[in-house]
Amino acid sequence: MKGSFRDVQGVRVLDLSGKITIGAGDVELRRLVEEALAAGKTNILVNLKDVTHIDSSGIGELVACFTTVKRRGRSMKLVNLPPKINDILQVTQLITVFDVFDNEAEALQSFQA
């Protein structure tokens, strides 16, 4: 997996691409979220647009990041889910747990509310 970040309207946007899978992608995701928290970011938006695969470890890491962020009174949302990634979250009913947006503008807007 490749990951980079942007700060847009006070929101830390994590742009992920490739495979969020055991041993590599999951570790990188955690690192990016921990970095955002350490930088004092309150709002994190995970952009999954170019993610091709996510396995149960990647999903587990996504959930772990979500609960960590929430426990600290901060907020993490998801945007641009490719259909297969959406299916994977749907099957385990995690789609109901996350705040999911179809486009970045809407997602960024939601943090201002």
Partner 1 sequence: MRRAGGQGVAAQALKAKKKVAANVVNFLRMTVEAKISIFSAYENIELAEKMLFEVARAKVNEEDLYWAAMALREALANAIKHGNKLNPEKRVFVTIQLEEGQELRMIVEDEGEGFDPGRLSDPRSPENLLKDSGRGVFYIRHFMDEVSFDRSASGGTKVELRKKLARRSA
Among 17, 18, 64, 99, binds partner 1 (CB under 8 A): 64
The binder of partner 1 chosen from 60, 72, 102, 103 (CB under 8 A): 60
3-state secondary structure 65-91: HHHHHHHCCCEEEEECCCHHHHHHHHH
Binding track, positions 5-44, relative to partner 1; x by CB under 8 A: ----------------xxxx--------------------
| CB distance 45 to 104 below 8 Å | yes
Pick one of 37, 48, 59, 76: the residue that binds partner 1 (CB under 8 A). 59
Among 92, 102, 105, 106, binds partner 1 (CB under 8 A): 92
Angle at 25 between CA 90 and CA 87, to 5 degrees: 15
Report how far residue 40's alpha carbon sits from residue 72's, in angstroms, rounded to the nearest whole number: 11
Considering beta carbons, is residue 52 or 110 the nearer one to partner 1? 52
Give the contacts of 41 (CB within 8 A, at least 6 positions apart).
7, 11, 12, 74
Contact (CB, 8 A) for 20 and 51? yes
Q: Does 112 bind partner 1 (CB under 8 A)?
A: no
In the complex, the residues that contact partner 1 under the rule CB under 8 A are: 21-24, 53, 55-57, 59-61, 63-64, 66-67, 84, 88, 91-94, 97
